Amino acid sequence: MTNKNTTPDRMTLDEAVEVLTGYDELFIRERFGDELEDLLENQPRHGTRAVAACVLIRESGCLPDAAYDQVMKLSMKELNEFFPESEPEAMPDEPDTAAGKDASADA
């Protein structure tokens, strides 16, 4: 289900984290007050906001301060819907899972 906050080609949160640059890390540390790993572990919503701000900078070309302001204004619902959900990994060795049943049917 696509909502108004996600774009059809937007990366998942995990994918967005994987492509962050050193500049993104500096931005996150300066604007959100901690390293991303610590935010995601200890304050996951704040960490998600930090990654979302980096995505907004890339997608819209907005300035870092504007991206920070936009993500801080997101409601909890909007934040939860910002990134698409990750697709479950196929586990053919575990056919009792939904992903495993799909994968074992392909084998």
pLDDT digits (tens, 9 = 90+) for 88-105: 666 666 656 565 555 555
pLDDT digits (tens, 9 = 90+) for 1-54: 334 454 558 899 999 999 999 999 999 999 999 999 999 999 999 999 999 999
> Count of CB atoms within 10 A of residue 9's CB?
7
pLDDT digits (tens, 9 = 90+) for 76-92: 999 999 999 877 666 66
* Ordered DSSP codes for the chain: ---SSS-TTPPPHHHHHHT--HHHHHHHHHHHSS-HHHHHHH-HHHHHHHHHHHHHHHHH---HHHHHHHHHH--HHHHHHHSPPPPPPP-TT-TTSHHHHHHHHH-
User: What's the pTM value of the predicted model, to 2 decimals?
Assistant: 0.74
